[in-house]
Amino acid sequence: MTSTNSEDLASQYAQLVQLEDEYVDQLVTCNKLILDAMDIIAKRAKALHMDTVKQAAYHLHNMEQDLNRKLFEVRLKKSLLANHMSQST
């Protein structure tokens, strides 16, 4: 394996690590928003329009699922790339 190819793989891996960190941060924020929403619902449900509250909660949940899927894809790519890098040395 050439050093350029090795550097390219290392660069790709570093980019995936950064992307993984971003998705984890986004998931943490999304989970906090979900917990806050559930707390608001528990405390103020009678004062809120329930259909709107449910729609908002489902949007947050869908966002969480989407982020989890993206995080899984990045982790899978990282694993495959790590395997490729170890086979090339």
What local confidence, expressed as pLDDT, does residue 2 receive?
60
What local confidence, expressed as pLDDT, does residue 89 receive?
63
pLDDT in tens, 48-77: 888 888 899 999 999 999 999 999 999 999
- Identity at 71, one-letter amino acid code: L
pLDDT level of residue 4 (50, 70, 90 thresholds): confident
CA distances (Å), 11 to each of 18, 27, 66, 76, in order? 11, 24, 26, 17
pTM of the model: 0.85
pLDDT in tens, 12-43: 999 999 999 999 999 999 999 999 989 988 99
Q: CA 51, 53, 57, 60 torsion: positive or negative?
A: positive
